[in-house]
Amino acid sequence: MSTPHEPGVQPQPEGTNVSTTASAAKDALHTRRAFLFKLSLYLNGAVGAVLAVPILGYLLGPAFKKSASYNSWVSLGPIGNFPEGETRLADYRNPVTMVSDGATGNAACWVRRIDGKKFQVFAINCAHLGCPVRWFEQSRLFLCPCHGGAYYEDGSRASGPPERGLFEYEYKIAGDNLMIQAGAMPTLATEACNKKPKPLTQIESASPAASTQEAQVEERSSSWPA
Amino acid sequence: MASLKKRTTSAAGKTYTWLDRRLGLAKPLTEAAQHPTPARSASWWYVFGSAATVLLGLQVVTGILLALTYSPSAGEAWSSLQFLNHNVTLGWLLRAIHGWGSDFMIAIVLIHMVQVFLFGAYKFPRELTWIIGVFLLLLTLGMAFTGQVLRFDQDAYWGLGIGASIVSRIPWLGGPLVHMMLGGPIIGGQTLSRFFALHVFVIPGILLALVGLHVWMVLRLGINEWPMPGRIVSKANYEHEYHQLTEENGVPFVPDAAWKDAVFAAAIMLSVLACALYFGPFGPTGQPDPTIIQTAPKPDFAFLWIYAVLAYLPPSLETPMLFIAPVVIIGCMLLLPLVAGEGEKHWKRRPVAVLMVGVIAVTLAIFTQLGTYTPWSPIMEAWSGEAVPVAYLQHRSPLERQGALVLQNKQCRNCHALGGAGGMRGPALDSIATRMTEDQIIRQVLQGGGNMPAYGKALSPAETRALVSFLMTLREKNLAPAVDASRSLTHAGAMRVPAESNLLRMP
């Protein structure tokens, strides 16, 4: 009834008409065909839910892996490469890499040899937003090029936007080699070493992988002539 | 000859009829093209949306062309860009057009948004058109960020590091989300593949779908009429009034308004081409090798203001601001048409709106400008690259000259300028002795503070003495040195007792 009613013409008694169409529509909803259509919708919903499991599992896979599970012991080379009282840049190949990683699979860290077998190994990443900090031998400071974060030689915060000191790697000396526990890029949430004593839940493997992954250590004393 | 022409036309006509009988698009497309627009809306102010769409088309085409050569692998992406720049015929130009097209697109989308805001076009019944537009802006910025990552150079690598560090600050979920973003423990092959999928499939897919919806709604609801002061939008009357403006006094979009859109779009495309030809492609800068640390990463132009804000936020405010501010800003943009869906459209009657646009534009411009020269960053080479100005060494004692050497060697210049050269993180030292006394300088150097590290451990007493004696000579234009007023009083009190009578005379 899209045409407007003529004035004076009595409109048809619509009440009955409406109720019949309504009940007819209601009946139509309960036909066999409507039931099958609904069933097909539920079926597709169920299939979708089943498909969602592998899709989400695949997508969220990396999120469920703990940062620490990526870590393993990596050699930075003989401790003789690191003179006492100095801080030097060391490079290594990340323990978890693929062929397609190319040069991004390399990593660098700052090694400070305090004396004898006492070391501090700092992540290259600023604790503010992850830019590469540089060591300045003369002023005994690490400076960040991005937003000007500064750290003292022991890695503690000196000034600027970082809210904490540099990230530190756990280290050990195996024979003559300096080894660090590395693998995941250190950020505030995925620290390389959170310095808290961890409960010993499993015996640490001797990590034969670490010895085969001989890390290259480039001797660069902050790359500036002193 | 005439018969040949006649035959061709009739053949073309037959093909057309054959096609349209099957497609049935001629009628709806003609209707859409000739939809009536308010006569005054056929204006040069209404050309930005169509220009953004045309730019999107340009980006899609040049993007596909670049994908013919680009290798989305962390080990090869950088060299494939070098190959594009230097070995592929006109590869550099295609890269340049794609890069400049991206900058132009962000600019045009922002201008479009400001125009829509100032003309009140987001009000009833176009609220949803605005809301979708906000998502289009975010997606455009998402394309810019992911595109910057695909230019897999040092800036891209450390930009991802900044992104991961920001994500890591999310409470509780930070760690898992960092690994989600990077696709593994480090920035590497998986990360680039992810951003490739986002830049090439996911975001463009959503972007094109939403642009379709956005344009459909513009056609369905009609282009915004030219706002008039006092013409109030109300949900009850608007559609009727708009109908009058279009059906009775309107003009067809094609050709009355469309020619302006077409001319502007052509001008923008030519500008993109001109910039591409003149300035060339963006990068790539150094190789994405994290063991090369001699780098000062910087984001692309559109994100410089965020980079600047991150430098100025105090550490305690940074994490909350990083996550609360975007939610508030985006939330306000999305809610705007729902809160202010009726009322005045004309900017002369909406002073707060005009003021807001002004304040936001000035703020973004200032932070972007700061981001271009990063005064907060130390200049890593200043200490070895910028000599102490000769004038500052003349007529100085050997100790003072030794102090100048200490100043250079201890990298003070990385943060402090002398003679206009050096870092700007700390204050320039050219007239430091007129602002600080010797004692204050010694304390500041040894203990630091006020955003300066303490140098107590890095300076021997002799070095400190030399440095401070040099700094005490730095008084530009021979201004008087700073004095400690209290010291002169105690000095006067101890040494000149007769001066008491002078003190007594003071009011």
Instruction: Tell me the nearest-neighbour CA distance from A33 into chain B, angstroms.
Output: 31
Question: What's at B288, amino acid-wise?
Answer: P
- Percent of the residues in chain A that have a pLDDT greater than 90, as a whole number: 52
User: Which domain CATH number covers B226?
Assistant: 1.20.810.10
Q: Is B235 found in the same domain as B279?
A: yes
If you count residue pairs, one on A and one on B, with CB atoms under 8 Å apart, how many are there? 219
Neighbours of B12 (CB within 10 A): 10
Chain B residues in contact with A139 (beta carbon < 8 A): 410-412, 453, 455, 458
C-alpha to C-alpha distance for B155 and B149, rounded to whole angstroms: 8
Neighbours of B274 (CB within 10 A): 11
C-alpha to C-alpha distance for A75 and A83, rounded to whole angstroms: 17
Output the pLDDT for position A64: 84
Q: Is B388 found in the same domain as B358?
A: no
B353-360 long-range contacts, CB within 8 A, separation 24+:
B353/B117, B353/B118, B354/B118, B357/B114, B357/B117, B357/B118
**Does residue A5 form part of some domain?**
no
Q: How confident is the model at residue A17 (pLDDT cuts 50, 70, 90)?
A: low
A66-124 confidence digits (pLDDT tens): 777 788 999 999 999 999 999 999 999 999 888 889 999 999 999 999 998 899 999 99
Q: Is A84 found in the same domain as A190?
A: yes
Q: Is B284 found in the same domain as B256?
A: yes
Of B308, B338, B373, which marks where a domain is finished?
A: B373
| Inter-chain touch A189–B175, beta carbons under 8 Å | yes
| Inter-chain touch B457–A152, beta carbons under 8 Å | yes
Instruction: Tell me the nearest-neighbour CA distance from B187 into chain A, angstroms.
Output: 7
Q: B436 lies in which domain range?
A: 382-487
Question: What's at A177, amino acid-wise?
Answer: N
> End-to-end CA distance of chain A, in Å?
94
Q: Is B459 found in the same domain as B364?
A: no
Which residue, B104, B89, B203, is CA-closest to B146?
B203
Output the pLDDT for position B492: 58
| Inter-chain touch B411–A136, beta carbons under 8 Å | yes
Output the pLDDT for position B494: 54
Q: Is A48 found in the same domain as A156?
A: no
**Does residue A7 form part of some domain?**
no
Of B373, B397, B412, which marks where a domain is finished?
A: B373
**Does residue A114 form part of some domain?**
yes
pTM of the model: 0.86
Q: Which of A62, A159, A162 comes nearest B448 by C-beta?
A: A159
Q: Is B222 exposed, middle or buried (0-12, 13-18, 19+ CB in 10 A)?
A: buried
Chain B residues in contact with A218 (beta carbon < 8 A): 291
| Inter-chain touch A148–B376, beta carbons under 8 Å | yes
A220-A221-A222-A223 Cα dihedral, nearest 10 degrees: -60
**Does residue B88 form part of some domain?**
yes
Q: Which helix (H) or strand (E) holds A209?
A: helix A208-212
Q: Which A residues 10-49 touch B at CB under 8 Å?
A: none
Q: Is A160 found in the same domain as A138?
A: yes
**Does residue B14 form part of some domain?**
no
Which residue, B374, B461, B475, B493, is CA-closest to B423?
B374
**Does residue A162 form part of some domain?**
yes
**Does residue B400 form part of some domain?**
yes
Chain A residues in contact with B454 (beta carbon < 8 A): 152, 158
- A7: pLDDT strictly greater than 60: no
User: A67: nearest CA in chain B?
Assistant: B185
Q: A50 lies in which domain range?
A: 16-64
Q: Is A181 found in the same domain as A73?
A: yes
User: Which domain CATH number covers B428?
Assistant: 1.10.760.10
Q: Is B320 found in the same domain as B411?
A: no
Q: Is B270 found in the same domain as B194?
A: yes
Task: Please state which of the ranges A25-34, A173-182, B25-34, B300-309 shows the lowest mean pLDDT.
Answer: A25-34
- A199: pLDDT strictly greater than 90: no
Q: Is B339 found in the same domain as B433?
A: no
Instruction: Name the token pair of A44.
Output: 């597709």
- Number of structural domains, chain B? 2
Q: Is B419 found in the same domain as B362?
A: no
Chain A residues in contact with B320 (beta carbon < 8 A): none
| Inter-chain touch B288–A104, beta carbons under 8 Å | yes
Q: Is A55 found in the same domain as A89?
A: no
- When the pLDDT of each residue in chain A is averaged and rounded to a whole number, the result is 79
Q: Is A184 found in the same domain as A94?
A: yes
DSSP B498: G
Chain A residues in contact with B453 (beta carbon < 8 A): 139, 141, 150, 152, 158-159
Output the pLDDT for position A30: 81
Taking only the tens of pLDDT, chain B with its 507 residues reads 567 778 888 999 999 999 999 999 999 999 999 999 998 888 999 999 999 999 999 999 999 999 999 999 999 999 999 999 999 999 999 999 999 999 999 999 999 999 999 999 999 999 999 999 999 999 999 999 999 999 999 999 999 999 999 999 998 888 899 999 999 899 999 999 999 999 999 999 999 999 999 999 999 999 999 999 999 999 999 999 999 888 888 899 999 999 999 999 999 999 999 999 999 999 899 999 999 998 888 899 999 999 999 888 888 888 888 899 999 999 999 999 999 999 999 999 999 999 999 999 999 999 999 999 889 989 999 999 999 999 999 999 999 999 999 999 999 999 999 999 999 999 999 999 999 999 999 999 999 888 899 998 899 999 999 999 999 999 888 788 888 877 766 665 555 544 444 444 444
C-alpha to C-alpha distance for B66 and B174, rounded to whole angstroms: 34
**Does residue A86 form part of some domain?**
yes
Q: How confident is the model at residue A215 (pLDDT cuts 50, 70, 90)?
A: very low
Question: What's at B22, amino acid-wise?
Answer: R
Q: Is A158 found in the same domain as A90?
A: yes
- A212: pLDDT strictly greater than 50: no
Output the pLDDT for position B198: 97
Output the pLDDT for position B478: 79
Q: How confident is the model at residue A210 (pLDDT cuts 50, 70, 90)?
A: very low
Q: Which A residues 110-129 touch B at CB under 8 Å?
A: 124-125, 128-129
Q: Is B441 found in the same domain as B347?
A: no
Q: Which A residues 127-146 touch B at CB under 8 Å?
A: 128-134, 136, 138-141, 143, 145-146
**Does residue B24 form part of some domain?**
no
Of B373, B401, B433, which marks where a domain is finished?
A: B373
Chain B residues in contact with A143 (beta carbon < 8 A): 378, 380, 411, 414
| Inter-chain touch B162–A150, beta carbons under 8 Å | no
Which residue, A87, A133, A65, A111, is CA-closest to B186?
A65
Q: Is A77 found in the same domain as A178?
A: yes
Q: Which of A108, A143, A153 comes nearest B414 by C-beta?
A: A143
Q: Is A114 found in the same domain as A137?
A: yes
Q: Is B128 exposed, middle or buried (0-12, 13-18, 19+ CB in 10 A)?
A: middle
Radius of gyration in angstroms for the set of CA atoms belonging to chain B, rounded to a whole number: 32
Q: Is A102 found in the same domain as A37?
A: no
A118-156 confidence digits (pLDDT tens): 999 999 999 999 999 999 999 999 999 999 899 999 999
**Does residue A200 form part of some domain?**
no
Output the pLDDT for position A6: 44
Q: Which of the pair, A222 or B381, is modelled with greater confidence?
A: B381
Which residue, A180, A191, A184, is CA-closest to A97?
A184
- A168: pLDDT strictly greater than 90: yes
| Inter-chain touch A104–B377, beta carbons under 8 Å | no
Q: Is A122 found in the same domain as A21?
A: no
Contact B194, B202 (CB under 8 A): no
**Does residue A9 form part of some domain?**
no
Q: Is A121 found in the same domain as A41?
A: no
| Inter-chain touch B310–A161, beta carbons under 8 Å | yes
**Does residue B466 form part of some domain?**
yes
Q: Is B336 found in the same domain as B220?
A: yes
C-alpha to C-alpha distance for B369 and B374, rounded to whole angstroms: 9
- Number of structural domains, chain A? 2
* Helix ranges (DSSP H) in B44-126: 48-67, 77-86, 91-118
**Does residue B501 form part of some domain?**
no
Q: Is B360 found in the same domain as B412?
A: no
**Does residue B499 form part of some domain?**
no
Q: Which segments within B330-393 are labelled E, that is strand?
A: none
User: Which domain CATH number covers A97?
Assistant: 2.102.10.10
- A216: pLDDT strictly greater than 70: no
Q: Is B165 found in the same domain as B102?
A: yes
